Amino acid sequence: MVESVNPATGETVESYEDHTEEEALDALDAAVDTFEEWRETTFAHRQSLLENAADVLRERQDEYAELMTREMGKPIEQARAEIEKCAWVCEYYAETAESHLAEEQLSVGPTDSAVVRYEPLGPVLAVMPWNFPFWQVFRFAAPNLAAGNVGLLKHSSNSPGSGQAIEEVFREAGFPEGAFQNLFVGSEVASTLIADDRLRAVTLTGSVGAGQAVAEQAGANLKKTVLELGGSDPFVVLDDAPVEETAAKAAHARLQNGGQSCIAAKRFIVHTDVYDEFVDAFVEEMDSWTVGDPLEEETQVGPQADAELMEELHDQVQRTLDEGAEALLGGEPLDREGAYYPPTVLTNVPRDAAAACEETFGPVAAVFEVESEDEAAELANDSEFGLGASVWTGDPAGRGRAFAKRFEAGCCFVNEYVKSDPRVPFGGVKDSGYGRELSKAGIREFVNRKTLWVNHDLTEGSE
């Protein structure tokens, strides 16, 4: 059985029976059968069903938002926003899939023609995490269903109900039964699916270790993969940045979703000329966020997703403090029921300390003081991760854009915190993974880029 546990109360939300290996393979059978028909459907038909899915999400927004809040502790207002974003990505690909996948004409000479076609691959396995239990799945599912692929979902054990609900969304929207299927399976059964010749690709959002394991399995079976892994995003504050406004954005960048986001700002790198002013404003902003019951409307920071994750986060904080850092705010689990960790600000962080080198997946900010842009860029890139990065300045078009080019990351923002958006590619470099999701780049990841060449000059009997 898979149990969904409310991290705010410790109570069991629901229990779900695991699928057996035989049932998972039956689901793959159904996916293969459905694909043969689904791949031949028109873009107009797929567009209509994606628009239906957006309608279902909005009609049941409160229900789905409460489900994810109970499963992983997301504040209810943020949960509703996540459902709305899922509806948006469905509508985005309903509007753009056909143009993103249109044949491309190539110039190959006066007597020949060539085009590149973008054709679906088949069944794709998605291994998805708990922190954005609807959005992570929809940003995979919407483009792939629009492209003519079919999907199998292995969701996190923290959010099994969300996986089941997402399958229901697509069924209610009118997608055929085998187009998108949720599986309650563990890693062993997932490995069996990856090894099966009928599964054509795998995408994973998760830890570096999980990504390495899936990439190894998929590589051994010559399967295409897209990996979105961890992040330790730098938030660089230059000496001309508007401090008060930047500090407010910094708190949001760190605390959104309880700090449990791969693209949350985690390392705050601040020029010495504005360091003291920024730290004062940042601590005040972080302290102003309301921690509480995630089902209450005023709550901005809920519990961590489970007690074990909170303990891991606290261990990172303790090791960082032991290595010489100072906690200006927070630094201890809250004395209340549930897995609550408060907004925490660490300063004087040694550059080899845990909070500097590891991904802190919770509301903990490590602040560093630098004396130049060059030092800021060097520290920003001194990480095994390369998912997102942001720079803050009074000259965004000039100085900010020039600095952003120096980041070793996939998603680089100037005077804005890092976020995913259906209209732009999303993904990282280094240990943050490879491949891209969203936009035209995302829908083209799991397709056959087929070259079709025609010689128009060859006549029968010619030599």
- 3-state DSSP assignment of residue 72: helix
List C-alpha distances in Å: 310 to 291, 341, 394, 443. 15, 7, 37, 35
8 Å CB contact between 208 and 431: yes
Asked if 108 and 114 touch (Cβ cutoff 8 Å), the reply is yes
Give the type of residue at 406.
Answer: R
> How far is it, in rounded angstroms, from Cα 280 to Cα 458?
76
Active-site choice (71, 82, 228, 408): 228
How close are the terminal C-alpha atoms of the chain, in Å?
70
| Alpha carbons 425 and 441: distance in angstroms, whole number | 6
Do 233 and 443 form a contact (C-beta atoms < 8 A)? no
* Helical residues (DSSP H) of 221-322, grouped into ranges: 243-255, 272-288, 307-322
Residues β-bridged to residue 268? 235, 367
Phi and psi (nearest 5°) for 112?
-125, 160
List the catalytic residue out of 71, 86, 91, 262. Answer: 262
Q: Does residue 228 have an active-site annotation?
A: yes
Q: How far apart are CA 2 and CA 282, in angstroms?
A: 40
Q: Which of 95, 97, 296, 123 is nearest to 196 (CA)?
A: 123
Which residues carry out catalysis? Answer: 228, 262
